[in-house]
C-alpha cells in the first residue's frame, strides 16, 4: 500500500537525487516500534531539539528500525555544529579529521552526532584517483541526504513526532529489498571506493539484492580499493567479518570480483582447498557466536583466516631443519609481514594471533608438567577453541581435542589418570560427542613433540 503511494509520488524508487522535499511518513505508515530505540539516542535528539536545533536518528539505525531489527548503534544528524553539540552534553568529544563528528557518551553507549553535510563537493580535497580526502562543509538536511551512500541509509527519524523523512526512495527500496546507491554509481565509488565493500556487506547481511546500475561498475572499479588507506580497509573488513554473515559476505565479494588481487587475505582464504574447510568452520562458528550475542575476538578470527598459510610455512621451515617452535615463529613472522602492506592489523590483534598460534604445538606435549603449565596460560580458551577447529576440520586427530576437553574439566585426580592414559579413548566430551570421524594426520607427524624434542 505504501509502495503504491510512493510509486505514484516519485515514479518508483528512482527519486531524483536532487530532491529537496522528502516523503514524510507517520507512525502508522512506517510502523517503527519505538521500544527498539535507544533511550540515549532519544535523549540526544530531545536535548538538541529543546535547544532549538533540528535532530534526527539517521542512517543504519533507521534502516534497521524499518526492518524491525534492533539497531546495534545509533547515529544522530543535526544542524547544530560540532561545537554547539559538544556544549549541550556533559560527556561529549569532538573527533575526526576527515569529517568532524561528536561522540556523546552515556555509560557504555556511544551516540555519534554528525552535523548535516553540505553538497559543495567541487571544493573538496581529492587524491589523484578522485577519492575525497577532506571536506567539512555543513549544509541542509537534503544536502546531507545526497551525501549518504545508499537510499536505505539516507532516511531520518524524529523520535518526538515519530515521523520518517525519506529523500531518495529508501522506503520503497526497503520494501523491494534492494540496495541502490544514491547518485551516479561510478562517481560515488570513485569518491569513496569503500562503498563497494559496504554494498556487499549490506546485501549479504540484509539478504537484499543489489540494483543493476549499482552493481554494474563494481567489477571494473574494484582495483580502486587499493588506494584506500589500509587501516580503513581493515575496519571495513572487520565489520564484514563480524556482521554475523561473514560467509555470505565472502561469497558475495567473490561474486562481485572484489576479492581478487585487491584483498590478498581473501584470495588466500577462498582459493585454498586445504584451508577452505577450516575457514568455513571458523567463519560459521563466528557467525553463530555473533548471532547469539557472544563476543568474538578479531585476533581469533584473523588467526583462523591465516592459519593454513602459517601451517604451510611452518612445515616448510621444519623440513628445512628448524625445530618445531622456532619454525612456527618464523612462519608467523612471514605471514604477518606479508599481510601488513595491504591490511593494517593492529599490534593488539597480531599479538593475539601469535599467542593462539604459538599455543598449538604446546597442546601436543602431554608429558610432565607441560599440560599443567598450559592450563595457566591467560589465552588458553582461545587456543583451545582453535585446537578444536583444527580437529573438526580434519587437520589433526579428534582425540587430541577430546583429551584436552576432558583434561580441562577434570579435577586433580582425574588429570593424573588422563596423563597416564593419553592415547586411549576418554570420557565423551561436549565437543566430540556426535561422532568419531576417521581423520588423517600424515602432515602432522613431524610436529609431534615425541619426534621433535
Question: What positions carry a catalytic annotation?
Answer: 73, 75, 149
CB of 142 or CB of 148, closer to ligand ATP: 148
Residue 17: closest CA among 150, 120, 122: 150
From 186, 192, 255, 334, residue interacting with ligand ATP (rule: CB under 6 A): 192
Reduce the DSSP state of residue 123 to 3 states and report it.
coil
User: What is residue 130's three-state secondary structure?
Assistant: coil
204 vs 396, which CB is nearer to Mg ion?
204
Taking the complex as a whole, the smallest distance from the CB of residue 398 to ligand ATP amounts, in Å, to 37
Interface with ligand ATP, residue 59, by CB under 6 A: yes
Selection from Mg ion, ligand ATP, none that 355 binds (CB < 5 to 8 A by kind) is none
Task: Considering the complex, state which of residue 112 and residue 397 has its C-beta at the smaller distance from ligand ATP.
Answer: 112
> What is the footprint of ligand ATP within residues 240-259 (CB under 6 A)?
none
**Which of ligand ATP, Mg ion, none does residue 303 bind to, with CB < 5 to 8 Å depending on kind?**
none
Q: Which three cell numbers stand for residue 230?
A: 589500509
Grid coordinates representing 379?
589465552
- Window 100-159: residues binding ligand ATP (CB under 6 A): 148-149, 153-154
Q: What are phi and psi of 149, to 5 degrees?
A: -80, -60
User: Which CB sits closer to ligand ATP, 59 or 371?
Assistant: 59
Q: How far is the CB of 75 from Mg ion (least distance, A)?
A: 6
Least distance between Mg ion and beta carbon 69 (Å): 12
Q: Are 63 and 78 in contact (CB under 8 A)?
A: no
In angstroms, rounded to a whole number, what is the distance separating the alpha carbons of residues 203 and 178?
8
> Strand pairing partners for 97?
none
Distances 248 to 67, 203, 245, 291 between C-alpha atoms, Å: 19, 9, 5, 14
- In the list Mg ion, ligand ATP, none, the entry touching 217 (Cβ below 5 to 8 angstroms by class) is none
**Residue closer to Mg ion, measured from CB, 206 or 387:** 206
Binding of ligand ATP by 194 (CB under 6 A): yes
Cβ 84 to Mg ion shortest distance, Å: 23
Sole binder of ligand ATP in the list 117, 195, 259, 366 (CB under 6 A): 195
Tell me whether residue 60 or residue 298 sits nearer to Mg ion (CB atom). 60
The span from the CA of 141 to the CA of 156, in Å, is: 9
Among 17, 22, 60, 82, binds ligand ATP (CB under 6 A): 60
Residue 195 binds which one of ligand ATP, Mg ion, none, with CB within 5 to 8 A depending on kind?
ligand ATP
Position 169 contacts ligand ATP (CB under 6 A): no
Measured between alpha carbons, how far is 225 from 214 in angstroms, rounded to an integer? 17
- The DSSP bridge partners found for residue 150 are 181
The residue of the chain with the least Cβ separation from Mg ion equals: 60
What SS3 state is found at 55?
strand
Q: What number of other Cβ atoms are within 10 A of residue 323's Cβ?
A: 11
56, 76 in Cβ contact below 8 A?
yes
**445 phi, psi to nearest 5 deg:** -50, -45
Toward Mg ion, which CB reaches closer, 163 or 243? 243
> Could you tell me which of 244, 19, 22, 60 has the C-alpha nearest to residue 152?
60
Interface map 51-70 toward Mg ion (x if CB under 5 A): ---------x----------
Residues 55, 44 contacting (CB under 8 angstroms): yes
Least separation in angstroms between residue 114's CB and Mg ion is: 11
Spell out, one character per residue from 224 to 243, where the chain touches ligand ATP: x when CB under 6 A holds, - when not: ---------------x----
d(CA 425, CA 423): 7
Q: Would you tell me the crossing angle of helices 298-305 and 307-319 to the nearest 10 degrees? A: 50
Q: Is 181 exposed, middle or buried (0-12, 13-18, 19+ CB in 10 A)?
A: buried
Give how far the C-alpha of residue 122 lies from the chain's centroid of Cα atoms, to the nearest Å: 32
Using the contact rule CB under 6 A, the part of the chain among 15-23, 49-57, 87-95, 187-195 near ligand ATP is: 187-195
User: Which among ligand ATP, Mg ion, none contacts residue 148 (Cβ within 5 to 8 A by kind)?
Assistant: ligand ATP
Joined grid coordinates for residue 284: 560459521
Binding mask 67-86 for ligand ATP (x = CB under 6 A): ------x-x-----------
Closest residue to bound ligand ATP by CB: 60
By CB under 6 A, the count of residues binding ligand ATP is: 12
Residue 62 or 283 with smaller CB distance to Mg ion: 62
Residue among 154 and 447 whose Cβ is closer to ligand ATP? 154
- Nine-digit cell at 442? 600424515
**Is residue 228 a contact partner of residue 131, using CB atoms and an 8 Å limit?**
yes
CA dihedral 306, 311, 317, 323 (to 10 degrees): 120
**Residue 385's binding partner out of Mg ion, ligand ATP, none, with CB under 5 to 8 Å set by partner kind:** none
CB of 182 to Mg ion, least distance (A): 17
Binding site for Mg ion (CB under 5 A): 60
Binding site for ligand ATP (CB under 6 A): 59-60, 73, 75, 148-149, 153-154, 192, 194-195, 239
Amino acid at each position: 500500500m505504501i509502495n503504491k503511494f510512493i510509486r505514484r509520488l516519485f515514479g518508483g524508487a528512482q527519486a531524483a537525487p536532487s530532491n529537496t522535499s522528502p516523503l514524510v511518513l507517520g507512525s502508522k505508515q512506517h510502523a517503527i516500534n519505538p521500544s527498539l530505540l535507544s533511550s540515549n539516542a532519544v535523549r540526544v535528539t530531545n536535548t538538541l531539539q529543546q535547544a532549538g536545533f533540528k535532530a534526527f536518528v539517521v542512517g543504519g539505525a533507521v534502516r534497521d528500525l524499518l526492518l524491525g531489527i534492533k539497531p546495534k548503534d545509533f547515529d544522530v544528524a543535526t544542524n547544530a555544529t560540532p561545537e554547539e553539540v559538544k556544549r549541550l552534553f556533559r560527556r561529549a568529544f569532538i573527533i575526526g579529521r576527515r569529517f568532524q563528528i561528536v561522540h556523546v557518551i552515556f555509560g557504555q553507549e556511544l551516540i555519534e552526532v554528525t552535523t548535516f553535510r553540505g553538497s559543495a563537493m567541487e571544493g573538496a580535497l581529492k587524491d589523484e584517483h578522485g577519492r575525497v580526502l577532506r571536506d567539512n562543509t555543513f549544509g541542509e538536511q537534503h544536502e546531507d541526504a545526497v551525501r549518504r551512500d545508499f537510499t536505505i541509509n539516507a532516511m531520518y527519524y524524529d523520535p518526538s513526532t515519530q515521523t520518517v523523512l525519506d529523500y531518495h526512495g529508501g522506503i520503497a527500496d526497503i520494501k523491494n529489498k534492494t540496495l541502490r546507491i544514491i547518485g551516479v554509481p561510478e562517481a560515488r565509488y570513485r569518491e569513496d571506493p569503500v562503498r563497494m565493500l559496504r554494498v556487499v556487506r549490506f546485501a549479504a547481511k540484509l539478504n537484499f539484492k543489489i540494483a543493476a546500475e549499482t552493481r554494474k561498475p563494481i567489477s571494473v572499479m574494484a582495483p580502486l580499493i587499493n588506494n584506500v588507506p589500509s587501516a580503513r580497509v581493515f575496519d571495513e573488513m572487520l565489520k564484514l567479518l563480524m556482521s554475523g554473515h561473514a560467509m555470505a559476505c565472502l561469497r558475495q565479494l567473490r561474486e562481485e570480483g572484489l576479492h581478487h588481487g585487491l584483498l590478498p587475505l581473501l584470495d588466500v582464504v577462498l582459493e585454498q582447498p586445504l584451508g577452505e574447510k577450516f575457514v568455513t568452520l571458523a567463519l560459521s562458528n563466528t557467525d553463530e557466536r555473533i548471532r547469539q550475542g557472544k563476543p568474538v575476538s578479531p585476533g581469533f578470527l584473523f588467526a583462523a583466516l591465516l592459519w593454513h598459510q602459517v601451517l604451510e610455512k611452518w612445515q616448510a621451515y621444519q623440513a628445512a631443519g628448524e625445530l618445531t617452535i622456532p619454525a612456527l615463529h618464523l612462519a608467523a613472522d612471514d605471514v604477518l609481514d606479508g599481510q601488513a602492506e595491504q591490511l593494517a592489523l593492529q599490534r593488539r590483534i597480531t599479538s593475539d594471533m601469535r599467542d593462539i598460534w604459538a599455543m598449538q604445538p604446546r597442546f601436543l606435549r602431554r608429558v610432565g608438567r607441560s599440560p599443567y603449565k598450559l592450563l595457566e596460560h591467560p589465552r588458553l580458551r582461545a587456543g583451545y577453541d582453535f585446537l578444536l577447529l583444527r580437529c573438526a576440520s580434519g587437520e589433526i586427530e579428534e582425540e587430541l581435542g577430546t583429551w584436552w576437553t576432558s583434561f580441562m574439566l577434570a579435577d586433580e585426580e582425574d588429570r593424573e589418570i588422563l596423563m597416564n592414559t593419553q592415547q586411549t579413548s576418554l570420557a565423551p566430551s561436549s565437543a566430540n560427542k556426535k561422532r568419531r570421524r576417521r581423520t588423517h594426520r600424515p602432515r602432522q607427524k613431524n610436529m609431534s613433540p615425541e619426534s621433535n624434542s
